[in-house]
Amino acid sequence: MSKIMQLVVINISLLITTLSYSQNTISINEYTIAVILQDTALSIDASLSIENCKQQSYMLFNSDISDYVLRTNDNNFNYIHKNDTLFINSSIDSVRLNIAYNIPWDRDTCLIVEDELQRIRKSDEFQVFFERYYRWYPLLYDNFSNYKLSVTTNSSFGVFAYTSADSIISSGNRKTYFYNFYDEDIPFLISKLDVFNYKTIKYKGTNFNFYFLENTKRLLEVKNNKPIFTVDSIKVDSINNHIYNRCIRITQWYQNNLKQKEIKNIDFIESTSPHMGGFGLNNLIYLNTQMINYDLYYKYQISHEIGHIWLGLNTKYKEVGRNFMSESINEYVNLLLYEDFFGKQEFDKLLKKEFISSSSHFSCSLKEVLNIRKNFNLNNQEQVNIDVLIYKKGPLFLNEFRNKIGKEIFLKIINDTYTQEKKLITLSDFESNIKKHNCWKAYLELFELKL
């Protein structure tokens, strides 16, 4: 995920200690969310089948959701929704809960895209971005491990998720996409399809599908430290062609340097959503216009997101080193790509300017980097510091490690760590592969450094 997103301050308080409820956690057997895109609202219907649900239980439930209708099969059921927790008292062990609410189309909902070009937004031009930190998402993580999601839209819209839909059912001019998700996060985008200037390029068995916006702006050049943009469609097309080729080259680099994957499709989706700079999850690369323009200048943003096809997925949520495994390693491998593309001199320049200088206001140990985790309860400055640890200091420690053991062995360790059959990758997987390649001593030396 990008830096831009992490700057968004979201007030999620995960545990309430002021109420006298004990730690009665429930287990959720089945969790189904049906999302229907309607003319003036998103209608959300969450259905849960809960076990071990007795007196004084609780589950994490998004505080941004209000005005919902809650139905249950327990006549004596009562609940208090406070902050991000739903405290429940139930008279039976197995309860079915149904929570229904609407999210109206409104600029304040955080769901509708602001148009960067300040054109008057026509109602037929929008995209809706879903991500767990925003207000739509009913149940927060920690309660579940898998759930079924269906999204119904009219057929002029497309639904883009990080995994392809298990099935799509059409009925009249409505389409429903069915998914089964296992991860803590289920980002996806609903977008009007005719906003895109769609282009697909087939290269070595992979379809590169570019859903770039028809009305967008691109960075033309930087003059006297000022960016100059163009909205001219011929110029935008020519810049886009350059980006398409770049995306293919980047993907080939990962295919050649990490384990080769059979990839049938990669979808690149452009959005103007201000909430998220970009992300890569499986074969979905989501890029906002601003990030695409950053990449035209800095040249290491899009490659970070593409790197997530190989690295950083499915890292265990509660483990030490979680964000190091999910982001720092991906960012450092991305820098190795940068080095191959632009040479050692440019690599050193980038490292100095964007990593060393920009994080020189404090120094830290590797242990601190491993222990840090993203936390959306914090204020803006605290979040920025967490990002410095994850995105700057983490790669700097990895650079020290690479300098000790060499690029080739470094990439072997990374490959062996992230290509295991098991679903969740942890720091201990990384460490056991370091031992396997006889680099343990060099790794331990990193803990004596302050960077």
Between residues 1 and 405, which has the closer beta carbon with respect to Zn ion?
1
CB of 279 vs Zn ion, minimal distance in Å: 7
Closest-CA residue to 62 (of 122, 114, 139): 139
Closest-CA residue to 111 (of 64, 157, 57): 64
Helix axes 407-418, 427-436, angle to 10 degrees: 130
- CA–CA–CA angle 119, 121, 126 (5° rounding): 125
Q: Output the CA torsion sign for 404, 407, 413, 414.
A: positive
Between residues 158 and 277, which has the closer beta carbon with respect to Zn ion?
277
Between residues 143 and 334, which has the closer beta carbon with respect to Zn ion?
334
Distance separating alpha carbons of residues 249 and 172, to the nearest angstrom: 41
Distance separating alpha carbons of residues 171 and 169, to the nearest angstrom: 7
Give the per-residue contact string, 261-290, with Zn ion (x = CB under 5 A; - = no). ------------------------------
CB of 185 vs Zn ion, minimal distance in Å: 12
Between residues 125 and 327, which has the closer beta carbon with respect to Zn ion?
327
Distance separating alpha carbons of residues 289 and 213, to the nearest angstrom: 9
Between residues 192 and 392, which has the closer beta carbon with respect to Zn ion?
392
CB of 2 vs Zn ion, minimal distance in Å: 7
CB of 5 vs Zn ion, minimal distance in Å: 9
For the record, the structure tokens of 246 come out as 């770049």
Distance separating alpha carbons of residues 60 and 82, to the nearest angstrom: 10
Between residues 291 and 439, which has the closer beta carbon with respect to Zn ion?
291
Which residues, in sequence order, are bridge partners of residue 441?
none
CB of 275 vs Zn ion, minimal distance in Å: 15
Q: Which stretch binds Zn ion (CB under 5 A): 1-9, 162-170, 232-240, 347-355?
A: 1-9
CB of 278 vs Zn ion, minimal distance in Å: 8
> 369 and 393 in contact (C-beta within 8 Å)?
yes
CB of 433 vs Zn ion, minimal distance in Å: 21
Give the interface size with Zn ion as a residue count (CB under 5 A): 2
CB of 157 vs Zn ion, minimal distance in Å: 27
C-alpha dist (Å) from residue 447 to 231, 331, 361, 374: 49, 20, 20, 21
Between residues 1 and 113, which has the closer beta carbon with respect to Zn ion?
1
Q: Output the CA torsion sign for 359, 361, 367, 371.
A: negative
Residue ranges in 305-344 that form contacts with Zn ion under rule CB under 5 A:
327
Phi-psi region of 205 (alpha: psi -120 to 50; beta: other; left: phi over 0): left
Between residues 261 and 441, which has the closer beta carbon with respect to Zn ion?
261
- CA–CA–CA angle 384, 388, 389 (5° rounding): 120
Between residues 3 and 175, which has the closer beta carbon with respect to Zn ion?
3
CB of 365 vs Zn ion, minimal distance in Å: 23
Between residues 139 and 276, which has the closer beta carbon with respect to Zn ion?
276
CB of 329 vs Zn ion, minimal distance in Å: 10
As to burial, measured by CB atoms within 10 angstroms (0-12 exposed, 13-18 middle, 19+ buried), residue 189 is buried
CB of 225 vs Zn ion, minimal distance in Å: 27
CB of 121 vs Zn ion, minimal distance in Å: 29
Between residues 1 and 44, which has the closer beta carbon with respect to Zn ion?
1
Close Cβ partners of 437 (under 8 Å, ≥ 6 residues apart)? 405, 409, 412, 413, 416
Between residues 274 and 395, which has the closer beta carbon with respect to Zn ion?
395
Provide the binding-site residues for Zn ion, judged by CB under 5 A.
1, 327
